[in-house]
Structure 1
Amino acid sequence: MADSEETAPLLSRDSSDDGSRSARGTQPASVPVETTPLLASNSGASIHSHGSAHDDDDDAASPVAGLASPAGRKSSRRWPSIVAILLLALISVSIIVVAYFVPAAVEEYAKQGAVIEPTDLSLESITTDGVRARIQANFRLDGSRVKNDQVRRIGQVATWIVRKLGTEKTTVNVYLPEYANVLLGSAEIPPLTVSLVDGHTTAIDIVADLTPGNADGVRSIANQWLEGRLDSVRLLGKADIELKSGFIPLGTHSIAESLIFEAKELPSVPKYDIERIVFKEIDVPGKSSQAMGAEVRISAFNSFPVQIDIPSLAFEILVPNCNSGDPYIVVADAVTEPIPVRPKSTVTVEVNGTVQELPDSLTAACPGSGSSPLDHFLKQYMSGEDAVVFVRGKKNPSGDTPDWIADILTSVTVPVPFPGRTFDNLIRDFSLTDVHFTLPDPMAEPGDPASNPTVSGTILVTAGLPDQMNFAINVTSVRATADVFYHKDKLGELILDKWQDANSTMTRATKDHEATLKIQSIINNAPLNVTDGDVLTDVIQKLIFGGEQVDLAINALVDIRVDTILGQLELKDVPAEGKIPVKPLPLGSLEGLAPQVGDIQILDSTPTSITLRALVNITNPTEYSAKVPLINIHILCNDTIIGTAKAEDLDVVRGNNTNVVVGATWSPSMGGEVGQKLGRELLSQFVSGVNTSLTIRAFHDSIPLQPIISDALSKFNFTVPAPRLSMPGSGEDGSDRDDGDDGAGNGKKPSFIRDATFHFFSSSANFVLASPLMANTIYIESINATAYYNHTEPVGTIFSNVELAVPPGLSETPKLPVVWSPDSVGFEKLRKALGGDLKLDAKADVDVRLGVWRETIHYEGSGIGAHIRP
């Protein structure tokens, strides 16, 4: 009966009900023994513990026995609940243990074992308050990264127990403790759950709203970073985080974490390339005038997994002022096109700049300096160096830029290296025509510009304009200091320190040809300071004796005044290079000088010298002209000095030069006895009509104040034909006959004896003499002469000690006694020509005097026309 009562509840729900109804039939309705689980459980437990001790208690056993089997069934069903409660208690105790007894170990474990691998960061949109960013990353705890074994074991156990950790929506504020604890920015982090099991990876994909904080803090840290003064930065993050593990809330925890970033850990300004810069004239909306526009394309590689579309931004372009402490000078406004930024790809920025006018502070000279801020900037740019400009944000007039971006941009000034451009190949052609040289003023003080030779002429320059310059310019004035080189050796300096008027013609660029600028300027008396006499010697050698063109290289720094759409600009120290081709003297040109001497005046005389002045006609066969205030040269014969020549206020033009005033001193004694002998022979040949030449050579003091040039010239001997004397006569050429004698210097022999008459029966002769002097009388103190027929047959001899005066022009001598040679063929020819004419030759030694100067000259004449009279 007992067995049937115990097993019935397992077989049939109805039997259980019958039992219950039976029990309810014997028990009061108000005692719900079976329907109260906690009491049933306790009765069962009581029965299980004490049943054997009270088997004989029939009154108590009767109701309890009826409930024994149901109580056992309900107890077996409540064990999972008990286990769950115990497990929950265990977890709670574990969390309490983890939270309160081993927090330091767990924290250390989390710090060392946490691995966060960002996979993508995209700034989805720019909002009115900040930026909405999507952050994707992988998170895991890696116990192998924890070095301390005890910390690793505790951490692994704790995180295994907790399994997962979640947060509610959290606001994270980031502060700058070193900058008055200003708020750098805030981020709204949505709820997040990560796995804490060692090695398990949690993919994180959240969208957070980032809001910038105090603009002053951003400006301070940004400026220090840009200027390279930021060694490190400490960030302090604060947040109140609501934690939970599964459905168990872990409360709200205030967390503050400090991070220090060293300078090397901070992202650097990406390297960028300026791919295109074009300056051009543009129309200004709402204005009739034009402005200077700039189109700039910049590219940089975005190495970060960041994606965002940046709206159009507005900036100011500034350049440095005179001093580093002065405020920068705003020169242009710039606006960018919208910029699409994509991860791990090249970002291209299109910028349009506008310069409407140049501020006075940009072009005004700095205190204590002749240069302006614009000069300093252009000097760096045009020498190829990186010129620094500064970029600062400004409010975008279009209104598309959120205020918070404008506030940050306007508070940060970024230095940007502006790549310079060398102008090495700017000059395409450089020539100097109509050259006129002027030697130094002998009265100038040393160091005075007038103490240098000067150059005048027309400079013609063709320059190729850079592609970036697509606007009209007109050069109005130039000045420069140029170094002149020959074969890379410096010859001297050409100084154009005064503004020279100029004009230019611009040719616009075409598809096949670059834009060019043709500049013409006439320079007047630009000093040429020769610094190396040896180089000058080489140049002269090539020009005069080598017959080769000489290309002089010019390396100059040029100041230019130009008219542009922005007004007149003065560009200083523009580098320019070019060549000046110097044409050589034609071969034989020195012989072509063909000097002709006329109007000779004796100024002074000594027993051994004569000082005279003459008007000389010469032909300049070169393309160059010169003005010579004063020059002295030596006159040589067979490399022996026999005199000097001096020219003052000499202005030599191309072609014929007439009535050039030249002073000379005939003084063979300067060469000693050899010089006196050579001087005598030279005079004898000259008056005899022999083609003679003179050598002229400079010496150390030839050109006053220019010993370098003088010494360079002194290394050369310039041989020129002896000057033809202008002889008086009745013909247009100065001669009165066509017998080969010439009184005007037309390449024929000069005729000092213009006419001769022999008187046969009186044995005498008289002559018509021509003197080249215009104001002085020559005296013949003695004559010892012999007349010949056909060069060798003597006709007669004249010997006279009577002083004869030869005044200027033509004069006739008195009758001089003649001793005939009757036995000679010449005398027979003379006799047969009686009453007619006969051409005779003559040889004579003549003592002449001019002032107090005396000399014996040997004269030989041929083809002298003589009248033979009875």
Structure 2
Amino acid sequence: MSENETSPLLSAPAQDHVNAQDRDESAESAPLLSSSSYTPRYDGEHDEPEPERDDAASTRSRRCQSSSIRSSKKKSRRWPSFIAMGILAVMTVIIIVLAFIVPETVQEYAQQAAVIEPTNLSLDSITTDGVRARIQANFRLDGSKVENDHVRRVGKAATWVAYKLGTDQTKVDVYLPDYENILLGSAVVPPLVIKLREGDTTHFDFVTEIQPGNVEGIRMIANEWLEGRLDELRLDGTADLSLKSGIIPLGKHTVSESLVFEANKIPAIPKYNITRFNVKDGPFDGSMLADVSLSAFNEYPVELDIPELAFDILVPGCDITDPYILVAEASTGEIHVEPHSDVAADVYGVIRGLPDSLTRACPHSSSSPLDMLLKQYMHGDPATLFVRGSSHPDGETPKWIADILSSITLPVPFPGRTLDGLIRNFSLTDVHFTLPDPFADPDDPDSNPKVSGNILVTAGLPSEMNFGINVTNVRATANVLYHNRKMGELDLRKWQQANSTRVEGEKDEEPTLRIESRIIEAPLNVTDSDVFSELVQALLFGGKPIRLDVEALVDVKVVTSLGKLIVKELPAEGKIPVKPLAKGAIGSLNPKVGSLRILDTTPDSITLQALVNVTNPTPYTAHVPFANIHILKNGSLLGDATVENLDIVKGPNSHVLVTAKWKPSMGGTLGPQIGKDLISQYLSGWNTTITVKAHRDSIPGQPLICEALSRFNMTVAAPKMDLPGDTSDEKTHFIRDATFHFLSSTASFTLASPMHYNTLYVDFVNATALYNHTEPMGKIIYDLPFSAPPGVSQTPRLPVEWSLDSVGYDAVRKAIGGRLKLDAYADVDVRLGNWKESLWYQGKGIGAKVQL
């Protein structure tokens, strides 16, 4: 045997020079497995050749090789069997791997790599049992989403081999394992073929039958979701799948899969806008119609036509545990929903009267459910309404839809509308003030000043309110502000009668409601004396119109086609123009004493009553239960004056009863002299003035008002006496006439006493008569008391010491039997009851008769 016949199947590189024929021949004698003497290792190195054997071994080897040549043809015929057995072994291993190892890996790969992109979901039709929905979506496998490299490689290999997977028509049932495994719904999926190789996309477009399951289960889920109690939703889907890969059937398999949806991933109710809201009177008494348009954006790839549906509109009761109150019935038109676009819906509602449970006050409260709802709306806060499918829908609505909708109550926030600026004009005219009652308790409304007047309000009506409305009563609590600072509170908590008139707007203007009401004695509580003081100062000395701002919460009784309603806490803002006193108005008070009565006297004080005529220069009227003011002169307190139950009207006010106390000693050491000079000037007919000023007890129970008023002094003319007399020229003089008896050197005087009920006594007189204002005529000194009773009286004859060398004496002689004008200056001591005072008197232009 040649050397080539004994070469191994894989020859050494040194034998590459052997020709092809020799290689073919040597192949017949090559062993199936070559010698290991020159087999490459896994590490790339070669084993060292073994040492050459001896000749005997070589001989035995050649005999074995000769025997092998004889049997080579017989062994070559068994190779296909060996190959088949090898392939079978490999397939067996593959099947074992795929059966016990790959499925879990492939399942993990499929779960992570699967990408489903819904492109459209449309409602094909609604049936009596459910809906036919057209589903369009894309499916593909994305291996980059798989984190584990081993899973990714095995998954790609398995899906590359399978390529496509097909299913027969399949029914999928979805259950709620957390709710006693009740059936949520079923869907029939037609046969599908899915491409499994990465990068290939399967386009789904099929119509499926969807049937709702247990209505109670749907209701439970919906209500928990709406109430915020649904943290997660677990769904179990089961189906019997008949699978095949190409033409190879893979059998029927029962598949069950669980899905868990977190609450934040469950689709929410879309946000919507109310584009139209209109309410008008209904076609029959006791009804109203509401026309509402809504728009919302559909962010999902869903398309469907929603048929006309009927709903009940409800509002919450007094307590969260109370049943909802039905207030209206509503229906929608057909709604067409397109993917990723705005959806418009028209809703029509009818209100048939208002139930008692809606307008009745809640327990331990003065507000009803309607009050609370309107309060939210009018303050701009969303008011929550509840929408529930009607239990009596239209006959064309499938029963399964009615069952589901009637079992679900959906809270719907109804956006509020702030009514700021609703009150266009607010005026108060024919104002009448009432000062506090000094004997009222602090918590009694009579302890505050009160305001009466005519209120005229012009209110704008929202454009959506197109129904008849009439205001019958109003009440309010209002803050009164001056220069944007709160001065006080106007309490109108008592219902005031009112009437209203609707005034249509011009062109695009909203209609308005003109409301008129007469408020009677509404308490005004002054809360800031500083602001009130600024107001009084502006009234007395500003000379410009004053504007008070009013911020109020108004309750209104209205009559509508639904009946009588009370709308509470309607925000209102208005302005009250206040006319200030005109310049010189204080001087136009023109006080005049008509009657004077002495009530009590002490050595240094007099208490008296007087009827005073005074002019009210303001456009306001007032009632004064009690008020006391101080009387001052040159800053010294001389006395006080009090009025009670006084009604002040516009213009002249006659016979105002004033009680005054004259006590100059209250003004300190300078008080008596200032008081003496004041009386002397007053009796002399001078244009005297006094200062009146409020003090902390001027109005009992109102320290803030008194503090504010005490900051101002008002100087007015001293009240003129209504002295008895015949001529207007003489009414200003206490000494009306004088008669000089020339021969007896005496004189008598006619006195006009300011007292109407009391007698004044003159204890001492030291007087000088002047002619031509400067020339002494004579002097009278008399120290015997004489009286000056009420009215006009004559003094006794008083001795006169003539100034014989004066021009005045000559004038008297020449005037015997006639008259002349004289001036007089006197120091007198007067007495009135227990009161005594030394006064001085200066009179001018006194008419005097001269007799022998």
TM-score, structure 2 normalization: 0.87
Aligned to 1:39: none
Q: Match for residue 69 of structure 1?
A: none
The code of the aligned residue for 1:763 comes to S
Summarize the Cα distance change of 1:780–1:189 in structure 2 as closer, same or farther, 3 Å threshold.
Answer: same
Query: Partner residue of 1:79?
Result: none
Aligned counterpart in structure 2 of residue 505 of structure 1, from 501, 504, 511:
501
Q: Shift of residue 512 of structure 1? A: 3.2
2:544 is matched with which residue: 534, 545, 548? 548
Distance 1:827 1:737, change over 3 A: farther
Taking the aligned partners of 1:265 and 1:101, their CA distance within structure 2 comes to: 34
Measured at CA, do residues 204 and 359 of structure 1 come closer, stay the same or move farther in structure 2, by a change above 3 Å? same
Within the candidate set 465, 475, 481, 2:477 is matched to 481
Aligned counterpart for 1:795 among listed residues 777, 780, 788: 777
Partner of residue 121, structure 2 = 121
Distance 2:162 2:844 in 1: 141
1:762 equivalenced with 2:744 (yes/no): yes
What is the match of residue 807 of structure 1?
789
Distance 1:94 1:190 in 2: 33
2:554 corresponds to 1:562:
no
Give, in whole Å, the separation in 2 of the partners of 1:233 and 1:431.
Answer: 61
Contact 2:693 2:713 in 1 (8 A): yes
Q: Secondary structure at the match of 2:581?
A: coil
- Deviation (angstroms), 1:276: 2.1
Corresponding residue number in structure 2 for 1:411: 407
* Deviation for aligned residue 1:648: 0.9
Q: Once superposed, what is the RMSD of the aligned Cα atoms?
A: 2.3
Shift in CA distance, 97/190, structure 1 to aligned 2, threshold 3 Å: farther
Alignment of 1:300-311 (within 5 A): 300-311=296-307
Q: What are the ranges of 5 or more consecutive residues in structure 2 without an aligned counterpart?
A: 1-72, 75-85
Q: Give the whole-Å Cα distance in 2 for the aligned partners of 1:396 and 1:307.
A: 27
Query: In 2, Cα distance between the equivalents of 1:160 and 1:464?
Result: 75
What SS does the corresponding residue of 2:800 show, helix, strand or coil?
strand
Partner Cα distance (2:360, 2:814) in 1:
100
Contact 2:680 2:839 in 1 (8 A): yes
**What amino acid is the match of 1:661?**
L
Identity across matched positions, percent:
60
Deviations 1:640-661 (A, max 9, x none): 0011111111111111110010
Q: Separation in 1 of the partners of 2:181 and 2:706?
A: 79
By how many angstroms is 1:686 displaced?
Answer: 0.5
Residue 167 of structure 2 is matched in structure 1 by 167
| Equivalent position of 1:585 in the other structure | 581
Amino acid at match of 1:430: F
Which 5+ residue runs of structure 1 have no aligned equivalent?
A: 1-51, 54-85, 730-735, 744-749
Residue of structure 2 in register with 1:263 after alignment: 263
Give the secondary structure class of the aligned counterpart of 1:629: strand
* 1:219-240 superposed Cα distances (whole Å, 9 cap, x missing partner): 1111121222211111100111
From 632, 645, 651, the counterpart of 2:647? 651
Aligned residue number for residue 753 of structure 2: 771
Cα distance in 2 for residues equivalent to 1:135 and 1:404: 22
CA distance 1:430–1:236, shift in 2 (3 Å): same
Q: Which residue of 2 aligns with 1:700?
A: 696
Counterpart check, 1:614 vs 2:604: no
Q: Do 2:177 and 2:236's aligned partners in 1 also have CA atoms closer than 8 Å?
A: yes
Aligned length: 771
* 1:783 match: secondary structure: strand
Q: In structure 2, how many angstroms separate the alpha carbons of the residues matched to 1:229 and 1:771? A: 95
Are positions 1:598 and 2:580 aligned together? no
Aligned twin of 1:278: 278
Aligned 8 A contact 1:95 1:162 in 2:
no
Secondary structure at the residue paired with 1:399? coil
Query: Residue 857 of structure 1 aligns with which residue?
Result: 839
Corresponding residue number in structure 2 for 1:385: 381
Deviation at 1:399, TM superposition (A): 2.1
**Secondary structure of the residue that 2:178 maps to in structure 1?**
coil
Any conservation in 1 of the 2:469–2:560 contact (CA below 8 Å)?
Answer: yes
Which stretch shows the higher mean deviation, 696-705 or 810-819? 810-819
Contact map agreement 1:311 1:400 (CA 8 A) in 2: no
- Which position in structure 2 is the counterpart of 1:204? 204
AA aligned to 1:221 is I
1:831 shift after superposition: 1.9
- Listed one character per residue, the Cα deviations across residues 771-792 of structure 1 (whole Å, up to 9, x for unaligned) are 1211111111121111111110
* TM-score, normalisation: structure 1: 0.86
Provide closer, same or farther for how the CA distance between residues 786 and 193 of structure 1 changes in structure 2, counting only shifts above 3 A.
same
How far is 1:737 from its partner? Answer: 3.2
Aligned residue in 2 for 1:869 = 851
Measured in 2, the distance between the counterparts of 1:828 and 1:483 equals 77
d(CA) in 1 for partners of 2:828, 2:144: 129
2:816 equivalent in structure 1: 834
Instruction: State the 1:631 CA deviation.
Output: 1.0
1:67-91 superposed Cα distances (whole Å, 9 cap, x missing partner): xxxxxxxxxxxxxxxxxxx999999
SS of 1:234's equivalent in the other structure is strand
Range with bigger deviation, 157-166 or 449-458: 157-166
Q: Name the residue aligned to 2:828.
A: 846
The corresponding residue for 1:436 is: 432
| Runs of at least 4 residues off by over 6 Å | 86-97
Q: Report whether the alignment pairs 1:318 with 2:314.
A: yes
Task: Summarize the Cα distance change of 1:751–1:99 in structure 2 as closer, same or farther, 3 Å threshold.
Answer: same
Report how far residue 869 of structure 1 moved.
2.0
Q: Which amino acid aligns with 1:782?
A: F
Q: Does 1:359 align with 2:341?
A: no
Structure-1 separation of matches of 2:431 and 2:619:
8
Deviates more, 1:98-107 or 1:601-610: 98-107
8 A contact 2:286–2:563 mirrored in 1: no
- In the alignment, the residues of structure 2 paired with residue 279 and residue 295 of structure 1 have an alpha-carbon distance, to the nearest angstrom, of 6
Moved more, 97-106 or 533-542: 97-106
What one-letter code is carried by the residue in structure 1 that aligns with 2:104?
A
Which of 442, 448, 465 is the aligned partner of 1:446? Answer: 442
Distance 1:494 1:704 in 2: 19
Aligned to 1:333: 329
**Contact 1:392 1:410 (8 Å CA) reproduced:** yes
Helix, strand or coil: the match of 1:406? helix
Could you tell me whether the CA contact under 8 Å between 1:94 and 1:158 is conserved in 2? no
SS across alignment from 2:296? strand
SS of 1:139's partner is strand
User: AA paired with 2:651?
Assistant: G
Structure 1 segment 624-643 matched on structure 2, within 5 A: 624-643=620-639
Show the counterpart of 1:30: none
Aligned residue identity for 2:672: Q
Look up the match of 2:228: 228
Query: Which whole-Å deviations, capped at 9, do the CAs of 1:705-752 have from their partners, x for residues lacking one?
Result: 1111111111111111000110112xxxxxx236x33x2xxxxxx111
**Take 2:241 and 2:750, find their aligned partners in 1: how far apart are those partners?**
137
* Separation of aligned partners in 1, 2:255 and 2:418: 58
Measure the CA separation in 2 of the matches of 1:559 and 1:667.
52
Classify the secondary structure of the residue corresponding to 1:105.
Answer: helix
C-alpha change, 1:259 and 1:620, in structure 2 (3 Å) is same
Q: Would the alpha carbon gap of residues 465 and 282 (structure 1) be closer, same or farther in structure 2, given more than 3 Å must change?
A: same
Aligned residues of 1:94 and 1:161 also touching (Cα < 8 A): no
Post-superposition CA distance 1:602-656 (Å, at most 9, x none): 0010111111001000000101111111111110000100111111111111111
Q: Which residue of 1 aligns with 2:9?
A: none
Q: Following the alignment from structure 1 to structure 2, what is the Cα–Cα distance between the partners of residues 441 and 144?
A: 90
Amino acid at match of 1:414: L
Displacement of 1:381 after TM fit?
1.3
Contact 2:594/2:610 (CA < 8 Å) preserved in 1? yes
- 3-state SS of paired residue (2:427): strand
- Aligned partner of residue 673 in structure 1, secondary structure: coil
Amino acid at match of 2:776: P
**Cα distance in 2, alignment partners of residues 262 and 141 from structure 1:** 24
Give the Cα separation in 1 of the matches to 2:806 and 2:551: 78
Distance 1:156 1:670, change over 3 A: closer
Please tell me whether residue 456 in structure 1 is matched to residue 452 in structure 2.
yes
Give SS of 2:179's match: coil
Aligned AA (1:788): L
